[in-house]
Amino acid sequence: MRKTKLKDWVLILITFAFLLFIGDIIFKIQITTFQKQVRETIKEELYLNEIRHNLVQFLKVYTAYKDKIPLKLVRYGRDNDGGYIIPEKALEQADVLIGYGIDQDSSFEEDFARIYKKPSYGFDCGVDYKGGKNPLFTFINECISSDKFLFYDQKSSNRILSFSQQLDNLQIKDKKIFIKMDIEGGEYEVFDEILEYKNNITGIALELHLDLSKTGLLKALKLLRDLRQNFVLLHVHGNNYCPGYLIDANSLGPIPTVLELTYINKSLVTNYHIAANQSHPTLIDAPNDPTRKDVYFEILSSKACCE
């Protein structure tokens, strides 16, 4: 009887020891897996931080000169959403202005037509706009490259052409063009083709929509890098309608994920350097939403890769 109980206890102890051994192995495996996950998470976050940092450096604005005279920036379009800060030189040198994303406002395009007595065109396949008053302004119910980025309540006209096709239709392929674009994130699909005509583009007013995912940030970084090859960034303004923000150590204050960027072709300036003032907004800016305060941020100095 005692021998049987002893055997039982020995068996129990062996079983317990075995379970401890197995448990220890499982625990070590779990710890190793957890440590690996932590390392991968840290690695991914460091990579995202690097992307954000580089992207922020591409938002530094420049002061540009023509024959030692600083370029003059002016505001055209309505007072709030729909108005843009533009270098006069880029508009003076343009034969025509093309605005992508009109919705119900052509004030910017019509200001150009009225002031410079030159034709302007507004493209939007999501609306049937009849508000244009200037005879030099023409609305075209058509989108560039895609209609995937319309407002939720808009219906597409299903008229979608490439930039090249639109230039052909308007017979302006040999003209100097200023481009304004606010197409709700569709800009990433169209600029590769647009930049093929870089020599004919005097300037760009672009509303950039940032997606804070890794894929989205990389797309934005590529676009900003491509633009910098032939254009100088002169003005940045954060859209205060925007609900999201980019946070980076090289920005004093959060950066809205919707930004108005203004560029001029490098061929139109004789010199440019990083502006002393990297604070936004400027005195001539206006909030997109007049019922809210504008968004304040400052790009800080950094020895970045992209100068």
pLDDT in tens, 110-130: 999 999 999 999 999 877 887
Whether 120 and 210 map to the same domain: the answer is yes
List, for residues 73-102, the tens digit of each pLDDT value.
999 999 988 999 999 999 999 999 999 998
The conformational region for residue 68 under phi > 0 = left, psi -120 to 50 = alpha, else beta, is: left
> Measured between alpha carbons, how far apart are the two ends of the chain, in Å?
88
Higher-pLDDT residue of 85, 184: 85
What pLDDT is stored for residue 305 in this prediction?
46
Quick check: 160 pLDDT over 90?
no
**Mean pLDDT across the chain:** 87
Do residues 110 and 14 both lie within one domain?
no
Q: Is residue 21 part of a domain?
A: yes
CATH of the domain at 181: 3.40.50
Give the domain range for residue 54. Answer: 1-59
* 155 conformational bin, left if phi > 0, alpha if psi -120 to 50, beta if neither: beta
Residue 222 in contact with residue 306, Cβ under 8 Å? no
Is residue 192 domain-resident?
A: yes
Least confident of 9-18, 77-86, 287-296: 9-18
Q: Environment class of residue 161 by beta-carbon count within 10 Å: exposed (0-12), middle (13-18) or buried (19+)?
A: middle
How far apart are the C-alpha atoms of 93 and 169, rounded to whole Å? 22
What pLDDT was estimated at residue 152? 46
Q: Does 261 lie in the same domain as 191? A: yes
Q: Are residues 39 and 82 in the same domain?
A: no
Q: What are phi and psi of 192, to 5 degrees?
A: -55, -45
Mean pLDDT across 225-239: 98
The reply to whether 144 and 187 lie within a common domain is yes
Task: Give the amino acid at 104.
Answer: Q
pLDDT of 117? 98
Query: Is 10 in the same domain as 143?
Result: no
Radius of gyration in angstroms for the set of CA atoms belonging to the chain, rounded to a whole number: 28
SS3 87: strand
Per the domain annotation, does 47 fall within a domain? yes
85 and 46, same structural domain? no
pTM comes to 0.83
Q: Tell whether 132 is covered by a domain.
A: yes
Q: Is residue 196 over pLDDT 70?
A: yes
Mean pLDDT, residues 223-233 taken together: 98
Is the domain of 77 the same as that of 45?
no
pLDDT at position 154 is 46
What does the pLDDT look like over 59-68, one tens digit per residue? 999 999 999 9
Torsion of Cα atoms, 276 then 281 then 285 then 290, to 10°? -170
> Which stretch of 145-159, 185-199, 289-303 has the lowest confidence by average pLDDT?
145-159
pLDDT of residue 151: 47
The length of the chain in residues reads: 307
Dihedral-angle region of residue 84 (phi above 0 means left; psi in -120 to 50 means alpha; beta otherwise)? beta
For 263, phi then psi, to 5°, come to -120, 155
Tell me, yes or no, whether 140 and 287 share the same domain: yes
Which residues 6+ apart lie within 8 Å of 172 measured at CB? 95, 96
Strands (E), 61-162: 62-66, 69-70, 73-76, 84-87, 96-100, 120-123, 137-140, 143-144, 160-161
Count CB neighbours of 90 within 10 A: 26
293 shares its domain with 147: yes
